[in-house]
Structure 1
Amino acid sequence: MTALAGTSRCDPSLVEAARGGDTAALVALIAAAQPDIRRYAARTCRAADIDDAVQETLLLLYRRVGTLRAVTSFSAWLFAVARRACLRLLRRATGPSEAPADDVEARLVHLAPEDIRIDLSRAIQSLPDHYREVILLRDIEELSIDEIADVLALTRESVKARIHRARIMIREYLIRD
Structure 2
Amino acid sequence: MALGTPERDRLIRVAQTGDPVAIDRLLAACQPDARRYAHRHCHASDVDDAVQESLLIVARKVGGLKAAAAFASWLFVVIRRECRRLSRLMLRHDPLTDELAEALMLARPDESLRIDLASALESLPPHYLEVVLLRDFEELTIAEIAARLGEQPGAVKSRLHRARELVREYMLGPR
Q: TM-score, normalised by structure 2?
A: 0.50
Under a length normalisation based on structure 1, what TM-score does the superposition of the two structures give?
0.49
Larger Rg computed on CA atoms:
2
